[in-house]
Structure 1
């Protein structure tokens, strides 16, 4: 019966090599200790012979033995120093292999999370579609039910687009994590979103130009090619003038792959020539019909 040995991973290989080299060092250190003890004894013996006035032949023999012991101890010290360097190098390689293994495990967990989100999306979409169909196929049409159906359908589209985006971002993070150039903190607590003082109904969209608008006394800006929660009151205007588009739009998916989601982009400067003032654009649209009537 044939048995197949499991192939060892980098961490296990380096651990085995390190254990072997450490065992070799222990043996070599023991041999060096014995050689140095023998050298000390031989030096003492040569000293006693010289003090006692031994013959030249005996002194020469003692010196020859002492030089041999010195050479043996010197050789063992050199071998021990070389082995220490090998152990240090192997230990560094082991640390790198462990770090890479941890990155691989974290990247696998991130990809599993992306797959779980993708697996849950069809169920969510089917449930939302069932709600919309229940209103559309109802025996009677009621305004409240129609508004509810429209809201559910809008949320469904937004969630599907957001799910595609987050899965793409998670897989990008997984690739960077494997390469060692991503700073991902596992199980990090999510930052609490600040609740705005004025409750404004918003929708997540993708900007095609840098935008500016006002919410009370506060001026809001958004860079180009970024995901932004735009007030729904300004959304038709921005869509009509091609300054934004929905997340599930085909061109938006392409732009996200090119420019990303815009999380790290700086806010546009006030003198940016491409900055679009949505409030001013809305005011100009209102003045245009009045001018036509006049």
Structure 2
């Protein structure tokens, strides 16, 4: 291209000199023909060069996209491998915990401390297996989003219960479907909808019965977490007079009164 531009400048200068010197028409025609030929050559080279530049740019973009997608695939494969490893390890944990429970339940002796230990182990087993199902679903969802390139690679931090637990109360990690309140030792607990909370086990049956909560491994809970995120998004105090709050203590009391009335 550089050579063609140099030759074109020379041909133009030569044609200009002939024209200024009053050369014959034949010589001028010849000079113009030479100049036009070089001009066409330079024009062709410019178009080819522009095409090559566009091809190089397109190839570089394709290379960058392919490199990014390769990195995404590697990260997604690692996430899916983690989910598979958790799934493979979960049954071993479940069987080990079940063996501990059976060591107490199948014994002829009955010791309160051992019975309490067995109940605690069984509760932990159920909660861990439910949490394993949930994290595997979250990991696979993250892998799909990572492959598609529409999500950050890093997973969100595990959600914390919306309310700090009080000591000495047996709890179940659960997912709320409505805003809830209950009382613990003179203190009123309020939690928002679509949050993971540690609900006292004594209130769990009534909350499940009225479908105000559900287990973490429930299919609809997984969908709701996908829509609302795995964290509660609870950053402030729920007003005491909020009309949507469901009083679990009141529900439990109503059921007790109704049961006593039926017995009477």
Q: TM-score, normalised by structure 2?
A: 0.78
Q: Is 1:182 paired with 2:147?
A: no
C-alpha distance in structure 2 between counterparts of 1:175 and 1:147, whole Å: 42
* Alignment CA distance shift 1:214-1:262 (3 Å): farther
Q: Is 1:276 paired with 2:241?
A: no
Determine the structure 2 residue equivalent to 1:132: 101
- Check the 8 A contact 1:227/1:261 in 2, yes or no: no
Deviations, residues 25-80 of structure 1 (Å, cap 9, x unaligned): xxxxxxx1111111112223233334444433323222221121112111211222
- Check the 8 A contact 2:179/2:193 in 1, yes or no: yes
> Among 153, 164, 182, which residue is 1:196 paired with?
164
Matches within 5 A, 1:147-158: 147-158=116-127
Determine the structure 2 residue equivalent to 1:33: 2
Determine the structure 1 residue equivalent to 2:31: 62
- Check the 8 A contact 2:8/2:38 in 1, yes or no: yes
* Alignment CA distance shift 1:182-1:198 (3 Å): same
* Alignment CA distance shift 1:177-1:276 (3 Å): same
Determine the structure 2 residue equivalent to 1:145: 114
Determine the structure 1 residue equivalent to 2:65: 96
C-alpha distance in structure 1 between counterparts of 2:228 and 2:115, whole Å: 35
> Among 221, 243, 249, which residue is 1:256 paired with?
221
Once the two structures are TM-superposed, the CA of residue 150 in structure 1 deviates from its matched residue by 0.8
- Check the 8 A contact 1:222/1:228 in 2, yes or no: no
C-alpha distance in structure 2 between counterparts of 1:214 and 1:153, whole Å: 26
- In structure 2, runs of 5+ residues without a counterpart are none
> Among 220, 227, 235, which residue is 2:190 paired with?
220
C-alpha distance in structure 2 between counterparts of 1:65 and 1:289, whole Å: 110
* Alignment CA distance shift 1:192-1:173 (3 Å): closer
Q: Is 1:45 paired with 2:14?
A: yes
Determine the structure 2 residue equivalent to 1:7: none
Q: Secondary structure at the match of 1:234?
A: helix
- Check the 8 A contact 2:134/2:222 in 1, yes or no: no
- Check the 8 A contact 1:210/1:221 in 2, yes or no: yes
* Alignment CA distance shift 1:283-1:164 (3 Å): same
* Alignment CA distance shift 1:150-1:279 (3 Å): same
Count of residues paired in the alignment: 254
* Alignment CA distance shift 1:33-1:150 (3 Å): same
Q: Secondary structure at the match of 1:228?
A: strand
- In structure 1, runs of 5+ residues without a counterpart are 1-31
Q: TM-score, normalised by structure 1?
A: 0.71
